[in-house]
A and B are shown apart, each in its own frame.
Chain A
Amino acid sequence: MEQERSMPVSLLSPRSPSSQPYLSVSVTDPVKLGNGVQAYISYRVITKTNFPEYQGPEKIVIRRYSDFVWLHDRLFEKYKGIFIPSIPEKNAVEKFRFSAEFIEMRRQALDIFVNQIASHHELQKSEDLRTFLQVEEETMERLRSHDSGIFKKKPADLMQMFKSKVSDIVLGKEKPVEESNPEYEKLKHYIFELENHLTEAQKHAFRLVKRHRELGQALADFGKAAKLLGACEEKAVGKGFSELGAKSEMLSIKLQKEAHELLLNFEEPLKDYVRAVQSIKATIAERANAFRQQCELAETTKLKEINLDRLVLMRSDKAAEAEVEYKELKAASEEATKRFETIVVLMNQEIIRFQEQKTLDMGLAFHEFAKGQAHLANGVADAWRSLLPKLEALSVS
């Protein structure tokens, strides 16, 4: 199952020869379940694959939003250094939680989320992914509620807190240690700046959706009033207004449609882009943690070594104990170093993947945006143009 990482493959279609491994997932069919406050949406998750570990070729399970959250959190824990694809936000204004548009937006975002995982060369191998895509609903529910408890306290943090307390006291400084890597600094700065730009762009994209809706409404109202005016004036002018009104109303519908398209095909991809950047920030934080741990453990180990040597020299009976401790600490330190270095390597790979993927994603989003606008403009032009000969005829009569 070696897929070259340089190829950002989204989906290999099941149509390709069966020797080619593929994993294709879709999130569909949102259905409202439950009552009142406990009501929620469930989704059908369809997996088509020829991966040997999977029950193939097709498996369908029912999942809800918190299951996706479970998957995301587990991946985030296990694959430090990899930019975990992001899920849509939890918070939703109560009023809109079950609006058709919101449901569709969320479904689309979840579909993209799972697919991004399925097409990531490392993440697709994840056991948690397999669990998510395959196990029965009851098992899933058990896992979800079980794990949500533990995940509040991450084991790494516990050790880290302990260690940092010790070394801070020993070293007499509270200042957090940071890498001095100019290239990495540049990257961090880039990521933080990028988030600002993208957030602003997404904000304006959202406003643009709203504007389309408003224009649609204005056209509808205008059309209605024009028709009424046309009705009370019987001569040519009346006819003219009636026709104008009818066209306005028709165009109003087109505008509402375009608003919806814009939302799904332009605003959401931008939002997804923002979330992806935020995921990178989370990885940056993880890397900083790992770096700190590595440094602190290295320091502590060194101190322990010095102490050990001293004890040995003094032929103290504490030396044996100290040696054991030292060996443990050294192992931990090496592990921490390895962890950190893995993250660095992964991040470097991930950045390339991210940039390439985003160029494709945004390219598509831009294309859909432009297409939608062109389509709308054509519709508007056609509609109004068809009115002109009628108005001409009215003027002559």
Chain B
Amino acid sequence: MMDSENQGFEEARLYSSHEEVENLDFKEKLSAKSFSNYRSAMSSLSDAHHPLSSPAVLTPADSDPLRPPPMDRDLQKPYVSDHFFSDPLHFSDVNFGPSDGNNVSDLNGVESPSKSLESSGSLSRSSSSNSEYIKISVSNPQKEQEVSNSLVPGGSSYITYLITTRTNIAEFGGSEFSVRRRFKDVVTLSERLAESYRGFFIPPRPDKSVVEGQVMQKQEFVEQRRVALEKYLRKLAGHPVIRMSDEFKVFLQVQGRLPLPTTTDVASRMIDGAVNLPKQLLSESAMAPQEVVQPAKGGRDLLRLFKELKQSMTNDWGSSKPPIAEEDKEFLEKKEKLCDFEQQLSAVSQQAESLVKTQQDMAETFGELGLTLIKLTKFENEEAVFNCQRVRAADTKNVATAAVKASRLYRELNSQTVKHLDVLHDYLGLMLAVHGAFSERSSALLTEQTLLSDLSSLRSRAEKLEAASSKVFGGDKSRIQKLEQLKESIRTTEDAKNVAMREYKRIKENNRSELERFDRELQADFLSMLKGFVTNQVRYAEKMSEVWGKVAEETSSYSKESS
């Protein structure tokens, strides 16, 4: 059988007992909702016009194959559109691998299985031999009131989520802890991480949604957001460097307000900018070295922004060779390859969604056919005058049963397929992070280049000034003063340039190590996905063949050859 730990883990899930598989079918509908990218395709998965999973539709006299496995009896309900929201399903009933927040509220206890696959998968990769883990779940959304001293009376409300972490990593200083955070906090976290970890492939955070206040409170939106947050935090936890970051630790552990600087403090930003401005105007290039560590695009430093823009234009159109080109050929090649890869990946992902949708449609139509034939069976039996009618009714029932089974099988196949193909989506998201990391590199390079060209122009001015003042006998007081100032600028700029160079180097190294990690994980993830996908298809095709083979046998007396 399959050797790798990863595969074994998957197998355990895939080859769970028949009963669990039946339950899987029903419960998948819940988890299916969490695959936001497949929402359209999956809307019918979670669509509760599920005559097949609702045993109440079938008469009790119907034979066994139509009666769902005993577990589902608890869930007996007639066609109710929201029935799976009101049913107290417990994922703990089904073995999904590392149990993740099962004791968290029922509805939210439904973890997205691919996440358990991914996080444990990535965990088993990154924490190779030791059994380090971080398990995060997001649950329990609650409305809270904004305690603001704003001018607007009444204040607005917002949603907070309970973030529960379980870990055995020593640096966290605890094994289980919970905090309440709101979405704004997550935005802050992602921004701080972006600053501190330039060059890393930082998983992109969930989108800010531009919706009206009322919608913000709607259950569906909140649930979607909860799921997205959980996914995001787990991805962060899966990154070997970021998971150990201070920002992350603080986010997960520190109670009360999130003690990370936010960027929403516009007023003070403006003031900062204004304070800096005269200095820049006067001394022409007084850039505090440490500011160089952030890209100009942050928008705080207009002057620098213009300079770098000018520089980049020079780089682009300059007939002369730019001071430092992106020489790393290997890097450029890799970058292009990644672009290609991303394009193709996106295409595959789209087609995968189509595939899922058609499988879904197939399931539906088989189900409808089955139901219609069941009705026909009942009808013939009730109205039968001749024996051949009863025979026909029995035959019809066989086929009907098989069609209903086929429908179930397609549905199950689909929910498994969705999980595997979700890896494609994850990597598309990761590509965003890659782009981010590469653009950090470019902007760091740009900063370095700008400073270099600044430096060279300052130096040439200093030279000229020196030459001019030396011609004046006895010294030129004003010129000497200017020269002193220039020399001061040169020193400052040189310092800044050194910082910029170091920063660029650092980011390059981050890029490189991340690319390595990315490559490795990609190979493992995708191969595992392919295997999972194919294994799944085989499994369900075999089951399908069994179902129909039986019917073919039972009706073989009708075949032309046998008569």
Interchain CA distance A194-B384 in the complex, whole Å: 12
Contact A370 B396 (CB under 8 A): no
The answer to whether the Cβ of B340 comes within 8 Å of any Cβ in the partner chain is yes
The answer to whether the Cβ of B388 comes within 8 Å of any Cβ in the partner chain is yes
The answer to whether the Cβ of B402 comes within 8 Å of any Cβ in the partner chain is yes
Contact A211 B395 (CB under 8 A): no
Interchain CA distance A207-B403 in the complex, whole Å: 13
Contact A225 B344 (CB under 8 A): yes
Q: Which 5 A-B pairs have the closest CB atoms?
A: A363-B558, A377-B545, A381-B541, A370-B551, A367-B555
Given contacts A221-B354, A225-B348, A395-B527, A201 and B369 within 8 Å (CB-CB): yes
Interchain CA distance A215-B359 in the complex, whole Å: 7
Count the B residues whose beta carbon is within 8 Å of the partner chain — how many? 68
The interface stretch among B90-98, B375-383, B477-485, B495-503 is: B375-383
- Contact bitstring B543-563, A, C-beta under 8 A = 1, else 0: 011001101100111111000
Interchain CA distance A387-B531 in the complex, whole Å: 9
A352-B386, A377-B542 known, 11 other contacts, Cβ within 8 Å: A194-B379, A207-B368, A208-B362, A219-B355, A364-B559, A371-B548, A373-B544, A378-B545, A380-B544, A381-B545, A394-B527
- A202 → chain B closest CB, angstroms: 9
Given contacts A207-B365, A237-B527, A373-B406, A190 and B383 within 8 Å (CB-CB): yes
Contacts of A385 in B (CB 8 A): 538
- B201 → chain A closest CB, angstroms: 18
Shortest Cβ distance from A210 into B: residue: B365
Can you pick out 29 interface pairs between chain A and chain B where the beta carbons lie within 8 Å of each other? A193-B383, A204-B372, A207-B369, A211-B365, A218-B355, A222-B351, A228-B347, A235-B523, A236-B523, A236-B527, A237-B523, A240-B526, A241-B348, A355-B385, A355-B389, A358-B388, A363-B392, A367-B552, A367-B556, A371-B559, A373-B544, A374-B552, A381-B538, A384-B534, A384-B537, A384-B538, A385-B538, A388-B531, A395-B531
- B398 → chain A closest CB, angstroms: 7
Contacts of A369 in B (CB 8 A): 399
Contact A355 B386 (CB under 8 A): yes
Q: Which of A235-250 contact B (CB under 8 A)?
A: 235-237, 240-241, 244
Shortest Cβ distance from B524 into A: residue: A395
The number of chain A residues touching the other chain, given as a range, is 35 or more
Shortest Cβ distance from B557 into A: residue: A363
- Contact bitstring B393-436, A, C-beta under 8 A = 1, else 0: 00110110010001000000000000000000000000000000
Given contacts A228-B344, A235-B523, A385-B538, A366 and B398 within 8 Å (CB-CB): yes
Contact A370 B548 (CB under 8 A): yes
Shortest Cβ distance from A381 into B: residue: B541
Interchain CA distance A384-B538 in the complex, whole Å: 6
Contacts of B348 in A (CB 8 A): 222, 225-226, 228-229, 241
- Contact bitstring A359-393, B, C-beta under 8 A = 1, else 0: 11011101111110110011011001101100110
- B35 → chain A closest CB, angstroms: 18
Interchain CA distance A193-B527 in the complex, whole Å: 54
Given contacts A229-B345, A232-B341, A360-B558, A221 and B545 within 8 Å (CB-CB): no
Contact A222 B344 (CB under 8 A): no
Of A208, A212, A222, A367, the residue contacting B559 (CB under 8 A) is A367
- A355 → chain B closest CB, angstroms: 5
The answer to whether the Cβ of B260 comes within 8 Å of any Cβ in the partner chain is no
Contacts of A141 in B (CB 8 A): none
- A352 → chain B closest CB, angstroms: 7
Interchain CA distance A377-B13 in the complex, whole Å: 23
Contacts of B264 in A (CB 8 A): none
- B30 → chain A closest CB, angstroms: 25
Contacts of A371 in B (CB 8 A): 548, 552, 559
The answer to whether the Cβ of A5 comes within 8 Å of any Cβ in the partner chain is no
Contact A364 B392 (CB under 8 A): no
- B174 → chain A closest CB, angstroms: 37
Contact B538 A218 (CB under 8 A): no
Contacts of B383 in A (CB 8 A): 186, 190, 193
The answer to whether the Cβ of B437 comes within 8 Å of any Cβ in the partner chain is no
Contact B386 A377 (CB under 8 A): no
Contact B375 A362 (CB under 8 A): no
- A69 → chain B closest CB, angstroms: 28
Contacts of B395 in A (CB 8 A): 359, 362-363, 366
Interchain CA distance A45-B560 in the complex, whole Å: 22
Interchain CA distance A257-B557 in the complex, whole Å: 25
Shortest Cβ distance from B370 into A: residue: A204
Given contacts A204-B369, A237-B523, A367 and B358 within 8 Å (CB-CB): no
Contact A201 B376 (CB under 8 A): yes
The answer to whether the Cβ of A356 comes within 8 Å of any Cβ in the partner chain is yes
Contacts of B542 in A (CB 8 A): 377, 381
The answer to whether the Cβ of A103 comes within 8 Å of any Cβ in the partner chain is no
